[in-house]
Homo-oligomer: A and B are copies of this chain.
């Protein structure tokens, strides 16, 4: 009980200061006007990432070819309308996935702005003929474990190599959920696990790009891991390396779905599906 009373005290103090929480997930200041700065939003913490996959319904192909031909332009107009709030990446998954034909990744500084875009997208002729088959949402945060302070050498390793392979042609999204045992480890124990997890990933810095989103409580995963590569063999080896460390024992979801697509312009994705 003493311990709890102290905890309550400490909470009250923290709140008085008001800054502890703010530091934990300080949303990046959203730019005031003009189109979203792609380089900035893709590296800032506090950014919302939204991953949605879609399947084209059979009735889309009962529209006239003329109507289907106009689909891409209509979709691009929606992207244009929202360009001050969101950026959109599109991937063609038909031929790789049973559950989807296309996949969108949307970034914004405001989750509601992402929703506004996606609602408008679904209102297009193309969007009206889609079934959503997966939708995951996450938030970016500053590096958590392998920081300069906590793990100096590995942090140096992470920054010493950069992607040098040819331009990525493929993207993969893999949701991750960890069990209660993981979350009940101490911060030190989790750091140690993540160090062992990180070492075998270093060789792949040159040919697999990656990005992490946090999603506990926002959907039924804890993390959304995102990868880009030109060399799928290297990517396959990276994932085998990640399976071969003790941290893998804490996974209760790793994939389900794993989503693989080719990186394409949104226009080309819509056209590819609009015969």
Contacts and interface: CB of A to CB of B under 8 A. Distances in A.
Nearest to A249: B180
Contacts of A248: 180, 183-184
Contacts of A180: 243, 246, 248-249, 251
A95 B88 CA distance: 13
Nearest to A257: B220
Nearest to A132: B98
Nearest to A138: B236
A183 B240 contact: yes
A135 B202 contact: no
Contacts of A160: 8, 12
Interface residues of A, number: 108
Interface in A230-250: 231-240, 242-246, 248-249
Contacts of A94: 115, 118-119, 122
Nearest to A250: B180
B11 A157 contact: yes
A151 interface: yes
Interface string A61-79: 1000000000000000000
Contact of A233 (B27, B52, B132, B238): B27
Interface in A79-122: 92, 94-98, 111-112, 114-119, 122
Contact of A217 (B48, B206, B207, B239): B239
Interface string A13-54: 011000011001111000000000000000000101010110
B272 A232 contact: no
A153 B8 contact: yes
B95 A119 contact: yes
Given A8-B156, A183-B244, 5 more contacts: A21-B234, A50-B96, A58-B129, A184-B245, A220-B256
10 contacts: A1-B151, A21-B206, A96-B137, A112-B170, A128-B275, A180-B246, A217-B239, A217-B242, A220-B258, A222-B243
Interface of A: 1, 4-5, 7-8, 11-12, 14-15, 20-21, 24-27, 46, 48, 50, 52-53, 57-59, 61, 92, 94-98, 111-112, 114-119, 122-123, 128-129, 131-135, 137, 139, 151-154, 156-157, 160-161, 169-170, 172, 174, 180-181, 183-184, 195, 199, 202-204, 206-207, 214-220, 222, 227, 231-240, 242-246, 248-249, 251, 255-258, 260, 262, 272-273, 275
